[in-house]
Amino acid sequence: MAHLTWDDLQFFLAVAREGQLSRAARQLQTSHVTVSRRIDRLEAGLDLRLFERNPRGYELTNNGRRLVETAERMEQEADRLLSDLTDDIRAQRGLLRVAMPEGFASFFSENLLAQFIDRFPNIALDLITLPQVMSLSRREADLSVTLDPTKASPYHSEKIVDYVLRVYGASKYLQGCAPITTREDLLDHPFAGYIEDMIYARGLDYLDEVHSKVRPIFKSSSIFNQLAAVRDGLCVTVLPCYIARQYDDLVPILPDQITILRSYWLTCHRDVRALPRERAVMEFIKSKMRALRDDLVPTTPNGG
């Protein structure tokens, strides 16, 4: 007689989503040996092969894929039941991996992390600031904050909030220069920017919106390296206003002429979107970021 328990199915789903015992073990906060033993027990109890083991990890068999659909429905119902019984989203638990651009991640950590921990005390958060190398399809991240919405199936994007970028220079640098009154004047100044072939989102490609002839003399894939170069008086660059406003030595250049608008989006696999835990986290991020919109979209030209 086949033997099946919900506890074993939780281990099965973790391996199905992560593809590797070690990553599944981190999510479940246990050892990979325990995960392996539970998968072996489940397969023996069902007398079915659920995974093919290979050097890349664990890949679902046809039987495994069929079981995922059933197990995920059971998971959703179990989560819904737990929430209904406790009437408290704080009951949500487990490892959650969220990929974010480093600027957004810094803002999140400074403004929302404490609230997140208070709201979801049983969720272990992995915050990844290399979204360009994370794969939602391989379930390396549960949620991803992106600068562009996805139109590709089977993914889903929801807009979080807009933010504004402007050109900035250090006050000590600008004091030694002739006044900058037009975009053409900017061509006489060194720029920092992103490395073109490492720009992982269209939303980061914005120098043409400053001037089509801008050519950076310093490039970095990190916004904070660009920030450091500007604060050292080596160049000027485009920065999100919410980052630049933290530094009294930075001055917006031509703020009445150059305002670049971008948006942050929450992206996830459509299967993940329906899960109560991920849904709750998505709503938390959207609502809290929108409440801070004034920090992201200055209401005056000189608002840092």
Q: Does residue 63 fall inside a structural domain?
A: yes
**pLDDT at residue 79 above 70?**
no
pLDDT of residue 78: 72
Q: Does residue 112 fall inside a structural domain?
A: yes
pLDDT interval class at 62 (50, 70, 90): very high
Q: Which residue has the tokens 């059971």?
A: 74
Closest residue by Cα to residue 286 from 124, 123, 145: 145
Closest residue by Cα to residue 53 from 70, 71, 67, 35: 35
Please tell me whether residues 279 and 141 are part of one structural domain: yes
How far apart, in whole angstroms, are the C-alpha atoms of residue 292 and residue 288? 7
Report yes or no: 204 and 240 within 8 Å, Cβ to Cβ: no
Cβ-count burial of 263 within 10 angstroms (0-12 exposed, 13-18 middle, 19+ buried)? Answer: middle
Please tell me whether residues 248 and 169 are part of one structural domain: yes
Report yes or no: 170 and 164 within 8 Å, Cβ to Cβ: no
Please tell me whether residues 255 and 172 are part of one structural domain: yes
Q: Does residue 304 fall inside a structural domain?
A: no
Closest residue by Cα to residue 216 from 172, 186, 261, 247: 186
pLDDT of residue 1: 44
How far apart, in whole angstroms, are the C-alpha atoms of residue 236 and residue 227? 9
Closest residue by Cα to residue 38 from 57, 15, 54: 15
Last residue of a domain, one of 64, 86, 108: 86
Please tell me whether residues 46 and 120 are part of one structural domain: no
How far apart, in whole angstroms, are the C-alpha atoms of residue 94 and residue 103? 26
Q: Structure tokens of 71?
A: 């197990």
pTM of the model: 0.71
Q: Does residue 303 fall inside a structural domain?
A: no
pLDDT of residue 268: 87
Residue, of 245 and 135, whose pLDDT is higher: 245
Please tell me whether residues 96 and 42 are part of one structural domain: no
Please tell me whether residues 40 and 64 are part of one structural domain: yes
Please tell me whether residues 136 and 65 are part of one structural domain: no
Q: What is the CATH number of the domain that holds 155?
A: 3.40.190.10
pLDDT interval class at 300 (50, 70, 90): confident
Residue 107 structural domain: 89-160+264-293
Q: Does residue 235 fall inside a structural domain?
A: yes
Report yes or no: 106 and 274 within 8 Å, Cβ to Cβ: no
Secondary structure letter of residue 236 according to DSSP: B
pLDDT of residue 89: 60
Ranges of H-type helices in 210-256? 223-231, 241-244
- In the chain, how long is the greatest CA-to-CA distance? 85
Please tell me whether residues 214 and 236 are part of one structural domain: yes
**pLDDT at residue 55 above 80?**
yes
Please tell me whether residues 131 and 271 are part of one structural domain: yes
Q: How many domains does one find in the chain?
A: 3
For residue range 225-271, list pLDDT tens digits in order.
999 999 999 999 999 999 999 999 999 999 999 999 999 999 988 87
How far apart, in whole angstroms, are the C-alpha atoms of residue 18 and residue 16? 6
Please tell me whether residues 10 and 152 are part of one structural domain: no
57 φ/ψ sector (left φ>0, alpha ψ -120 to 50, else beta): left
Last residue of a domain, one of 55, 86, 117: 86
Q: Does residue 301 fall inside a structural domain?
A: no
Secondary structure letter of residue 201 according to DSSP: S
Last residue of a domain, one of 86, 120, 142: 86
Please tell me whether residues 111 and 180 are part of one structural domain: no
Please tell me whether residues 100 and 192 are part of one structural domain: no
Q: 218-219 and 57-60 as β-strands: parallel, antiparallel, unpaired? A: unpaired
Residue, of 149 and 111, whose pLDDT is higher: 111
Q: Does residue 17 fall inside a structural domain?
A: yes
